[in-house]
Chain A
Amino acid sequence: MQSASSNIVANNWEEVDSKEITNLVSETNGRKENALRVKEDVLLHHLDISIVEAEKRINGPLTLKEYYSVYLIETKANDKNWRGGLSPTGSVWRRYSEFELLRFQLENKYPEVIIPPLPEKKASFTRQNQSSDNIDPVFVDRRRVGLENFLLRVASHPVLCHDQVLLKFLQSDREWSDLDVNADGGKYVQQAEFKLKSISTALRLKKPDENIEEIRHYSSELQSSLGNLLRLRVRLADRLFAIHKLHANYGRVFSEWSALEKTMGDGLQKAGHYMDCYAAAIDSHMEEEDIVADQLKEYLYFGQALQGLCSRHQMAQLEVEKAESHLTMQQYNKSRAVGQDGYLTKLWGKWTGTTETPDDRQAKIETIERNIDEAQVLVQTASTQLSQFSKQAANEVDRFHQHKNANLQESLANYVILQMKLSKLGLQTWKHVKEALDELP
């Protein structure tokens, strides 16, 4: 009965195998499909965007070479009648710091949007066999894919995709940014200030929004879980890699041994060959697993973006609370000013020589009342802004959960498929070894 059930399973995974593996390989297509499922009319519906290659460039004098990578963004309008782009086709080289600048600007312009994350600046969660060097071609290519994903996600976002700076970034060879591209200082200082503010904001709020608190808590759990998972996967990958490579030693021993034997020679030789294949196969498995790990990493950074959104919401809420307390202060001032007919006040006025005339007092009260009106307007504006922010943020979070569920499901499925593939490889290897041994006299 064991074999019957495993036959059923075998059929299943064989079907799955050929279909899904090809999908896994062309993962960018998956991303494009996801992006195209968006209902609203977005840039991506009209413009094909892809990052086709990467190049190494040298910065600085020849003695102090500093390599950096640039990425070629190619755009092409797929609809002849569409006039939204700067030109029907585009081809620009951009480096990573330019992407950072673009994202920074989008964050500032659209605070209530979850801006998609960039791939990491420095390699993290690396396996022992992976290079953590930024110039390493494998790293560069994975970054290329990550940057392409970033652009696809931005270009399929109903709000972000219409941004003009984005369009200039994609298609214009000349200046595309309001800010100076090379002024790194200003951007990082602003980011640092933002981070500091957001830490204190949470503490300063009198009545934190429950929903936002929940989202913030969720995003920190997401980051921690994904971090743990990525770390574990690296450990497992390193062990598995070592186990497979050690089998190459068996291959060598079998091959040497087969030279000694007359009757056993052939079988041992074959067995050794299969051991060598087993050892070699782990390399491509790991490359594919790295792709899945990158997909998980993207959501790790999405978690950070989600937390950014919460901080910005809290700052907007802080504005409202500040305006409200300002208003309360003005109202208190008024009540003080109005109720200043008391005996003690008059005495105080005589003694300090600051007696108010009734006219003065009236003027003062009028100023305060004006202040109150202004303050009330402020409160109104801030409250409206906050409620708009909340609404938009809630949509964003919903949207996030939708694509997170779909994408992570796909990534997890790919991970399972990879494990199946590896198990299948192991099974085939040892079955072949057994066959080779069975042939021995």
Chain B
Amino acid sequence: MSTSEDFDEIPAERPDKIKNSNTIEALTEIENTTGDSMKGSFNENDLRDLQVLLDQPQKHVTPFETYISYQVSTKTRRIEFEKQNYVVRRRYSDFEWLKNQLSVCYPTLIIPPLPEKHSLFEQIDRYDRDFITSRMQLLHRFLNRLADHPVLSCDKKYQAFLIDTPAEFSTFKKSFTGFGIFGKVSESLQNMASSYISKSRTVEFEKMSEYVDKLSEKMHTMEKIGQRIQKERIAYLQDLQMMQPILNHWRAYEPNLSEGLQAIGEAANTCAESQRKLIDSQKPKLSVPLHEYGLYIESAKDALRNRDNAQMDYEVHMEQLCRVKAEQTQLETAPLSDHPVMFGMNMWKSPEQVQQQRMQQLEAGASTLAQQVEVSRDKMECANENLRADFDRWNQIKSRDLKNILQEMADLHIRMYEQSLTAWSAALPKVKNESQPQV
């Protein structure tokens, strides 16, 4: 049952409302790409305090570009929101912006995946109905995963995304431009080889990383297997559809076998139908979710990598501090003349003065480094904690989701086989001509 009567904002978009939002775009017309406006509705039994619904795609045509926007409806009981219901329109690039922002601000949290911009393999029309539906479902999942996340759902940007009017939103976005993606990587790391990381990881994170790598492999393999089976199944379907015509042709010459042949032809057709249903649901129910999970796992890999970077940062600073400390101790214990720094430029100063200077330098360096070490250690500890917690959470979600995907796959096959079995069982008595006396 739709809860549209709860909405304060009117779902029916009026052209002038959108026109005012973007001064650059002069909207010429809005078309509904789909016959039915693809309306979804909130689940009544959903008890979450933040629910998001994505539906009603619309095509916008302007002199500069054509794009699709989706309606984002929010229903919430949270106190940080002023109202209980919001309705806005967002386009894909808005989603991208949000995801990038979240990835930068929370490097060690696992950010849900977005559907890809363009699938390079398949020649998809951007306005193809199935493509839009599929993308819409994935975007819906994206927003809801964020809504379920204890940390991310409280993020200001996410909330702005959900509630800002288009005008507010574009000004909001502009305040964040220039925030480079490279902000999270400190300069000293850019020269480091990645092999440095794997040696120093703790067992805990090593295991996580290994697990994520292998799982991603398995997902990828499963996707490929699914595609190969699909190919064979499509060819099988085409052949199966030939059975009835052949049998019909033969029937004309066999009065005694005619009924049986007809029954077999019909059974073959019914099976072909159920194969077709299975084939059609393969993509939305199996390969798209698996692919999405592949992306989600990549997101997990990113978070792990960022944590590794934080650790590396800390270790580099530690190492630098240790070097300074080592030089300090060396200066204190070793004779003056052996110190390499004594050579060279400071010939007019006495060795003791040089040593003094050096000690002061090292002391100053040591204290700044010590501070840096503290900061990066904090960062690392934070990252570890964040990641640990989020990984646990993600693990559970992933297990549940994958279980659902596989169960759905099993259900689809069960349905297909039930239909097949019924079809052939129905044909059998007719083939055996049970009503007629045996010859």
A residues with a Cβ closer than 8 A to B are 5-6, 9, 12-13, 16, 218, 221-222, 225-226, 228-229, 232, 235-236, 239-240, 242-243, 246-247, 249-250, 253, 256-257, 260-261, 263-264, 267, 271, 401-402, 405-406, 408-409, 412-413, 415-417, 419-420, 423-424, 426-427, 430-431, 433-434, 437-438, 440-441
Q: Which of B221, B247, B403, B438 is within 8 Å of A437, CB to CB?
A: B403
Within 8 A of A (CB), among B406-437: 406-407, 410-411, 413-414, 416-418, 420-422, 424-429, 431-433
B417 near A247: Cβ-Cβ < 8 Å = no
Q: A406-B439, A408-B254, A423-B424 are in contact. List 16 more A-B contacts (CB 8 A).
A: A9-B421, A221-B253, A226-B250, A236-B239, A240-B236, A260-B215, A264-B402, A405-B256, A409-B260, A409-B432, A419-B267, A419-B420, A430-B414, A433-B406, A437-B403, A440-B399
- For A222, the chain B residues whose CB sits under 8 A away are 250, 253
The CA-CA distance from A417 to B260 in the complex, in Å, is 13
B253 near A218: Cβ-Cβ < 8 Å = yes
A13 near B218: Cβ-Cβ < 8 Å = no
- For B260, the chain A residues whose CB sits under 8 A away are 409, 412-413
- For B426, the chain A residues whose CB sits under 8 A away are 9
B221 near A263: Cβ-Cβ < 8 Å = no
B233 near A243: Cβ-Cβ < 8 Å = yes
Q: Which of B9-17, B222-230, B295-303, B361-369 contacts A (4 or more CB under 8 A)?
A: B222-230
- For B438, the chain A residues whose CB sits under 8 A away are 406
Is B1 located at the chain interface by the 8 A CB criterion? no
Within 8 A of A (CB), among B365-409: 399, 402-403, 406-407
The CA-CA distance from A9 to B410 in the complex, in Å, is 22
B399 near A264: Cβ-Cβ < 8 Å = yes
The CA-CA distance from A437 to B424 in the complex, in Å, is 29
Given contacts A13-B425, A256-B218, contact A228 B246 (CB under 8 A): yes
Is B156 located at the chain interface by the 8 A CB criterion? no
Within 8 A of A (CB), among B226-256: 228-229, 232-233, 235-236, 239-240, 242-243, 246-247, 249-250, 253-254, 256
Is B257 located at the chain interface by the 8 A CB criterion? yes
Q: What is the predominant secondary structure among interface residues of chain B facing chain A?
A: helix
Q: How large is the interface on B (under 10, 10 to 19, 20 to 34, 35 or more residues)?
A: 35 or more
B421 near A437: Cβ-Cβ < 8 Å = no
B218 near A257: Cβ-Cβ < 8 Å = yes
Is B261 located at the chain interface by the 8 A CB criterion? yes
A412 near B420: Cβ-Cβ < 8 Å = no
Chain B residue at minimal CB-CB distance from A250: B225
Is B211 located at the chain interface by the 8 A CB criterion? yes
The CA-CA distance from A424 to B414 in the complex, in Å, is 10
Chain B residue at minimal CB-CB distance from A246: B229
Given contacts A246-B229, A256-B218, A433-B410, contact A9 B422 (CB under 8 A): yes
Closest chain-A Cβ to B220's Cβ sits at a distance in Å of 10
- For B421, the chain A residues whose CB sits under 8 A away are 9, 13, 420, 423-424, 427
- For A257, the chain B residues whose CB sits under 8 A away are 215, 218
- For B439, the chain A residues whose CB sits under 8 A away are 402, 405-406
Is B88 located at the chain interface by the 8 A CB criterion? no
Is B136 located at the chain interface by the 8 A CB criterion? no
Closest chain-A Cβ to B259's Cβ sits at a distance in Å of 10
The CA-CA distance from A355 to B254 in the complex, in Å, is 68
- For B214, the chain A residues whose CB sits under 8 A away are 256, 260
- For A419, the chain B residues whose CB sits under 8 A away are 267, 271, 420, 424
The CA-CA distance from A413 to B402 in the complex, in Å, is 42
B418 near A427: Cβ-Cβ < 8 Å = yes
Closest chain-A Cβ to B328's Cβ sits at a distance in Å of 48
- For A413, the chain B residues whose CB sits under 8 A away are 260, 428, 431-432
A430 near B410: Cβ-Cβ < 8 Å = yes
- For A9, the chain B residues whose CB sits under 8 A away are 421-422, 425-426
A423 near B417: Cβ-Cβ < 8 Å = yes
Chain A residue at minimal CB-CB distance from B432: A413
A409 near B417: Cβ-Cβ < 8 Å = no
B225 near A253: Cβ-Cβ < 8 Å = yes
- For A434, the chain B residues whose CB sits under 8 A away are 407, 410-411, 414
Q: Which of B235, B246, B267, B271 is within 8 Å of A229, CB to CB?
A: B246
Q: What is the predominant secondary structure among interface residues of chain A facing chain B?
A: helix
Within 8 A of A (CB), among B293-316: none
- For B250, the chain A residues whose CB sits under 8 A away are 221-222, 225-226, 229
A431 near B261: Cβ-Cβ < 8 Å = no
Is B163 located at the chain interface by the 8 A CB criterion? no
Chain B residue at minimal CB-CB distance from A419: B424
B425 near A12: Cβ-Cβ < 8 Å = yes
Chain B residue at minimal CB-CB distance from A221: B253
**Interchain Cβ contacts under 8 Å between A and B, 12 examples:** A16-B428, A246-B228, A257-B215, A257-B218, A264-B403, A405-B439, A416-B428, A423-B424, A426-B413, A426-B417, A427-B414, A430-B413
B420 near A426: Cβ-Cβ < 8 Å = yes
The CA-CA distance from A121 to B242 in the complex, in Å, is 29
Chain A residue at minimal CB-CB distance from B222: A253
Q: Which of B235, B243, B422, B424 is within 8 Å of A416, CB to CB?
A: B424
- For B399, the chain A residues whose CB sits under 8 A away are 261, 263-264, 440-441
Of residues A228, A415, A430, which shows the largest number of chain B Cβ atoms within 10 Å of its Cβ?
A: A430
- For B247, the chain A residues whose CB sits under 8 A away are 229
A225 near B249: Cβ-Cβ < 8 Å = yes
- For B429, the chain A residues whose CB sits under 8 A away are 12
Is B264 located at the chain interface by the 8 A CB criterion? yes
Chain A residue at minimal CB-CB distance from B410: A434
A260 near B225: Cβ-Cβ < 8 Å = no
The CA-CA distance from A409 to B428 in the complex, in Å, is 10
The CA-CA distance from A333 to B406 in the complex, in Å, is 94
B414 near A416: Cβ-Cβ < 8 Å = no
- For A412, the chain B residues whose CB sits under 8 A away are 257, 260-261, 264, 431
The CA-CA distance from A161 to B418 in the complex, in Å, is 49
Q: Mark B168-208, 1 if CB is under 8 A from A, else 0.
A: 00000000000000000000000000000000000000000
- For B261, the chain A residues whose CB sits under 8 A away are 412
Q: Mark B141-172, 1 if CB is under 8 A from A, else 0.
A: 00000000000000000000000000000000
Of residues B246, B402, B425, which shows the largest number of chain A Cβ atoms within 10 Å of its Cβ?
A: B425
Closest chain-A Cβ to B91's Cβ sits at a distance in Å of 37
Q: Which of B211, B221, B243, B257 is within 8 Å of A409, CB to CB?
A: B257
A437 near B425: Cβ-Cβ < 8 Å = no
B221 near A6: Cβ-Cβ < 8 Å = no
- For B257, the chain A residues whose CB sits under 8 A away are 405, 408-409, 412
A437 near B407: Cβ-Cβ < 8 Å = yes
Chain B residue at minimal CB-CB distance from A257: B218
The CA-CA distance from A431 to B228 in the complex, in Å, is 23
Of residues B211, B403, B429, which shows the largest number of chain A Cβ atoms within 10 Å of its Cβ?
A: B403
Given contacts A405-B257, A405-B439, contact A440 B403 (CB under 8 A): yes
The CA-CA distance from A240 to B246 in the complex, in Å, is 19
B222 near A247: Cβ-Cβ < 8 Å = no
Closest chain-A Cβ to B209's Cβ sits at a distance in Å of 13
Closest chain-A Cβ to B216's Cβ sits at a distance in Å of 11
- For B417, the chain A residues whose CB sits under 8 A away are 423-424, 426-427, 430
The CA-CA distance from A236 to B236 in the complex, in Å, is 6
The CA-CA distance from A192 to B55 in the complex, in Å, is 75
The CA-CA distance from A408 to B261 in the complex, in Å, is 10
Closest chain-B Cβ to A16's Cβ sits at a distance in Å of 6
- For A239, the chain B residues whose CB sits under 8 A away are 232-233, 235-236, 239
The CA-CA distance from A297 to B246 in the complex, in Å, is 16
Closest chain-B Cβ to A238's Cβ sits at a distance in Å of 9
Q: Which of B232, B403, B420 is within 8 Å of A242, CB to CB?
A: B232
